[in-house]
Structure 1
Amino acid sequence: MDNIYSEGITLNLKSLGWNQTFEESFKAYESHHFIPGRISIEHKGLYTVLTEHGEMLGEITGKIRFNATGRHDFPAVGDWVAVQANPQEGKAYVHGILPRKSKFSRKAAGLTTDEQIVATNVDTVFLVNALNQDFNLRRLERYLLMAWESGATPVIVLSKADLCEDIQKYLDEVETIAFGVPTFAVSAETGTGLDALSSYITEGETVALLGSSGVGKSTLANKLFGSEVLKTNGIREEDGKGKHTTTHRELLVLESGGILIDTPGMRELQLWEGENSLSHSFQDVEGFAEQCRFRDCTHQNEPGCRVQEAIENGELSEERYTSFVKLQRELAYFARKEDQKLALAERAKWKKIAGDRTRVHRK
């Protein structure tokens, strides 16, 4: 297994993002002589784990697998875990996952209602959008909603600034949907804006890069890392859309002590949760709704509807309101589906436990 940290970077708990909160959570495992580690890459059934002894290839115990009721019960990139380490062989057994301080999730692609955890224990999320024809405010709204719900702090990064003739136009558009969110126009080619981003990646701080394919996440990560550690591709000239480069999530430790998590491009971004942050992301819509004459206003044909009035006089764009309604309905649908799924999983778990006890009793 390649170790990109063998030169110039010494792995220690602080550089990996360890803090007092994680230390308190880890006390439950100390009597077992386990050590803490952080998941840097998720493979099929295996994990790359970073520890003070270096990189190790980890696998989960049967107990974790047995008790799991869903994807959230398995390790994900960014997780702190308690491992039984074998440094000589470069192997580790994952016995537990420490409580997460943040979790960025989306609905897994496909017809099933499954959670896909993109990254955990993230302090700041760089929401990367390219300043080309693939720029999309509605997609950015989704990213913002998910970032707020994750528990991390969003920062909007407008990449490929060297290819844009009117940067201010895009900055003004972003300002209409991202209230108070720091926004930076950057160029990995010229270095413009990179210093501003570096200020977020200090020792022990974890930043995740999120965005569609071809927006320049891997190129940006390489610039911030200081070397070509991630493969990069260009974009299709005819539509400005990217070709997939990153195929897996990966946690990188910088020489400065900061931590970057690069993620695959996500053109399909279906929400997993976010109802609590809908009001935060759509403060303008919620503000107008509070001024409606009737509390149960559906914002359709009721008299005194402030939302419809705002759309008519240009205070609120119809596209923005339509996006709000769509996200609201999507969240409500998945909340109902998840409740049903959790109930079935819990029932199956206890049925299995009861069956095991019956077999033991018969013996």
Structure 2
Amino acid sequence: MTSSQLSSPLERLGWSEFFADQVQPSEADLIPRRIASVHRARIEAIDVTGPVGLAFPSNTNTGDYAVGDWVLADSLTDMLVRRLDRKSVLQRRPEGGRGQQLVAANVDTLLIVTSCNADFNLARLERYLIMATQAGINPVIVLTKADTADDADMFQAQAEALQRDLPVIALNGRSADAVSLLRPWCGIGQTVALVGSSGVGKSKLVNTMTGPESDTKQKTGTIREYDAQGRHTTTARSLHAVSGGGWVVDTPGIRTLT
């Protein structure tokens, strides 16, 4: 019997005993839903039936919710009733602002994406590793554009030296091989989040991970290889199904780290 046969529809969305234990007997008629995207005036979610919109009270601050959150909703009105406690939460400091901004919640693995060119920066990677530790998320460093670099092994060795037993994967983000290389962290019900500078190929990698049939393709931008400066092509955080059963959160290029 395969793992997909053993997993319930909710578990395939990332549901686990951690969340089930929070549901009170009086809430048995409410529907668990996972937030797929958060906008200023709307929240989109997924449940066992597919994508669904969430209604919420007029005094709700959508900024209090993160992609990946689990919530309970009324089955008749789609009204959001409450958010369940988070297993992990990824935050950043807004550029020019104070406090913390939610990036993603209930993430199992943080894919720290950089490229085998001028973007590679050990100090920045260390800050991302600190972010993962603070969030309670396991880190994996992903080196993109390895196929175009003459010295990809050198980049990989430097990254591996940052932390003991740190997984470092060098790949071509456009290649189908990327999916198999990342499969250990993208199994059924598992959630990964991608972070990294703009222009390192996160959107290309998301497109490869979600497969050719996905209707949530991320736009990809051009980049000048000399200085590795790319355009921002992801403007909002969003949750996508990964080929093979997992979930991926794509994020805009993070300029300001916690």
Post-superposition offset of 1:193: 4.7
Q: Counterpart of 1:329?
A: none
Q: Equivalent of 2:150, from 165, 168, 177?
A: 165
CA distance in 1, matches of 2:82, 2:103: 19
Residue 175, structure 1, aligned to residue 160, structure 2: yes
Cα contact 2:108–2:191 (8 A) shared by 1: yes
Tell me: CA distance 1:44–1:62, structure 2 relative to 1, closer, same or farther (3 Å): closer
| Structure with larger RCO (C-alpha < 8 A, sep 6+) | 2
What does residue 234 of structure 1 align with? 222
Deviation of the 1:85 alpha carbon: 3.5
- The answer to whether structure 1 residue 248 and structure 2 residue 236 are counterparts is yes
Q: Distance in 2 between matches of 1:165 and 1:255?
A: 30
Contact 1:184 1:193 in 2 (8 A): no
After TM superposition, give the deviation of residue 179 of structure 1 in Å: 2.3
The answer to which structure has the higher strand fraction is 2
Q: 1:175 to 1:45 in 2, by over 3 A?
A: same
**Which secondary structure state, in structure 2, belongs to the residue aligned with residue 122 of structure 1?**
coil
Structure 1 residue aligned with 2:31, among 28, 35, 44? 35
Structure 1 residue aligned with 2:53: 57
Q: 2:136 aligns to what?
A: 151
For 1:259 and 1:180, the matched residues in 2 are separated by 24
Letter in 2 for 1:259: W
Q: Describe the SS at the equivalent of 2:154.
A: helix
Q: Does 1:97 align with 2:83?
A: yes
Distance 1:245 1:196, change over 3 A: same
Residue type at the aligned position of 2:139: P
SS at 1:154's partner residue? strand
One-letter code aligned to 1:13: L
Instruction: Supply the AA of the counterpart residue of 1:204.
Output: G
Aligned residues: 248
The reply on whether 1:269 has 2:253 as its aligned counterpart is no
Name the structure where helix makes up a greater proportion of residues.
1
How far is 1:84 from its partner? 1.6
CA distance in 2 between counterparts of 1:256 and 1:135 reads: 30
Q: Pairwise mapping of residues 346-361 of structure 1 onto structure 2 (< 5 A)?
A: none
What SS does the aligned partner of 1:92 have?
coil
1:47–1:260 CA distance, 2 compared to 1 (3 A) = same
Structure 2 counterparts to residues 89-128 of structure 1, below 5 A: 92-110=78-96, 112-128=97-113
Q: Which residue of 2 aligns with 1:218?
A: 203
1:308-347 mapped onto 2 (5 Å cutoff): none
Indicate the SS of the match to 2:153.
helix
The answer to whether the aligner puts 1:16 opposite 2:13 as a matched pair is: yes
Structure 2 runs not aligned, ≥5 long: 1-7
The match for 1:344 is none
Give structure 1 stretches of 5+ with no counterpart. 1-10, 272-363
Shift of 1:254: 2.7
Q: SS of 1:179's equivalent?
A: coil
Q: What is the aligned counterpart of 2:65 among 75, 86, 107?
A: 75
- Say what the alpha-carbon RMSD is for the aligned residues: 2.1
Q: What is the TM-score when the length of structure 2 is the normalising length?
A: 0.89
Which TM-score applies when normalising by structure 1?
0.64
Q: CA deviation at 1:270?
A: 2.9
- Percent identity, aligned pairs only? 38
2:40 match: 44
For residues 174 and 37 of structure 2, the distance between their equivalents in structure 1, rounded to whole angstroms, comes to 28
Query: In 2, distance between residues paired with 1:29 and 1:169?
Result: 57
Structure 1: distance between partners of 2:71 and 2:174 = 37
